[in-house]
Amino acid sequence: MTLSIESLTVLYGDKVAVDNVSLDIAVGDVLALVGPSGCGKSTLLRAIAGLVEPAEGRVEWQGRDITHVPTHQRGVGLMFQDHALFTHRDVADNIGFGLKMAGVGAGARAVRTEELLVLVGLEGFGPRSVEGLSGGEAQRVALARALAPEPALLLLDEPLASLDRARRIELNIELARLLRELEQTAVYVTHDQDEAFSLADDVGVMHQGQVLRVGSPGDVWRDPQFEIVARFVGHEAMIERDGQRFAVRPDAVSIATSGELVGRVKTCAFQGDRYALTIDVDGGPWRLFHSVAVEPGSMVRLSLDPTRLARITDI
Ligand code: ADP
Ligand code: MG
């Protein structure tokens, strides 16, 4: 029923790269591991893949201890930022490579490769040379290659990081749709909060080797629990009230003539059906959403909904 990670610790010499992490991922779900560079995301993913040996803890798949099972026997598909395609083979051969290694015959391989090309939006690309592909196309091929053997678990490490912004957003949306459609169990590593939130069922926010907070994107956004997590999801402003610390969520702040606080509008950005504002209050920038544009520089009164402040605890 799940991928279960129990008290996993990974060391590089004296360096603790993954620090006593426990996580469960339900079959068919996508977990995004997020956090700044160096926090241990890739190392945790590599431990799940069997590419690094943990110092302590266990990895279980469907109740079976796979902590020491070699990567090629784990049924995992891997996709990295650097797609590492075979440049001397065509697209179809790249996609079918794992199947060939697994002894799948040429006929069945061709059928499956065609199916995958359609799935990743590269119909007709089979005979093309890999060297002529754009970055986005190459990542689609890498994705098809990872999916070819129908892995029980797909592991993706910053798969879109090398692409330009437009391509990244486009592929992110497609990847989200595809993973859902395939009901693919997956762990998706990224430093990009938006990317994680748009495709994950659960998000795990990492900091210095630990997973500080796991939950649905909505739960983590509403109740980040720790200041680092709050900042990571975009709640930059913190306030003290009655001796407690709170992150100021954008939905806790509204512009109201009767508001008890005063601030100066810094920026006002159109977002389709609303405006995203940043407002200087007591030095710190507060974010909020508003239905009409407000001129930067203007003073506004603000009110806070205390039920929408996110209580912050120390790590
Ligand atoms: P992330 O993927 O979140 O950027 P990593 O898992 O790559 O983080 O790295 C976690 C920590 O372990 C970092 O401090 C990094 O410098 C260190 N590290 C990563 N790989 C190695 C390695 N092969 N040898 C020694 N230290 C490493
Ligand atoms: Mg990494």
Confidence at residue 177, expressed as pLDDT on a 0 to 100 scale? 94
Confidence at residue 284, expressed as pLDDT on a 0 to 100 scale? 76
116 pocket-lining for ligand 1 (C-beta < 6 Å) = no
Pocket test for ligand 1, best of 14, 39, 189, 232 (most atoms within 8 A of CB): 39
Confidence at residue 258, expressed as pLDDT on a 0 to 100 scale? 92
Nearest CA to ligand 1 atom 1: 38
* Residues recorded for the chain: 315
Q: Which atom of ligand 1 is nearest to the CA of 35?
A: 3
33 pocket-lining for ligand 1 (C-beta < 6 Å) = no
Rounded distance between C-alpha atoms, residue 291 and residue 120, angstroms: 38
Nearest CA to ligand 1 atom 24: 12
Q: How far is the CA of 196 from the centre of ligand 2 (A)?
A: 14
Q: Which atom of ligand 1 is nearest to the CA of 45?
A: 6
**Relative to the alpha carbon of 46, which ligand is closest?**
1
Q: State the pTM of this model.
A: 0.92
Strands lying side by side in the sheet with 153-157: 76-80, 153-157, 185-190, 30-34, 202-207, 210-215
Q: Which atom of ligand 1 is nearest to the CA of 189?
A: 2
Confidence at residue 82, expressed as pLDDT on a 0 to 100 scale? 79
4 pocket-lining for ligand 1 (C-beta < 6 Å) = no
| Per-residue pLDDT of the chain in tens (315 residues, 90 and over written 9) | 689 999 999 999 999 999 999 999 999 999 999 999 999 999 999 999 999 999 999 999 989 999 999 998 998 999 988 778 999 999 999 999 989 988 999 999 999 999 999 999 999 999 999 998 999 999 999 999 999 999 999 999 999 998 999 889 999 999 999 999 999 999 999 999 999 999 999 999 999 999 999 999 999 999 999 999 999 999 989 999 999 999 999 999 999 999 999 999 999 999 999 999 999 998 678 999 999 999 999 999 999 999 999 999 988
Instruction: Report angle CA 82, 84, 85 to the nearest 5 degrees.
Output: 135
* Of 91, 95, 79, 69, nearest in space to 149 by CA: 95
Confidence at residue 278, expressed as pLDDT on a 0 to 100 scale? 95
Roughly what angle, to the nearest 10 degrees, separates helices 165-181 and 135-147? 20
Q: How far is CA 137 from the centre of its chain?
A: 21
Q: Which atom of ligand 1 is nearest to the CA of 209?
A: 10
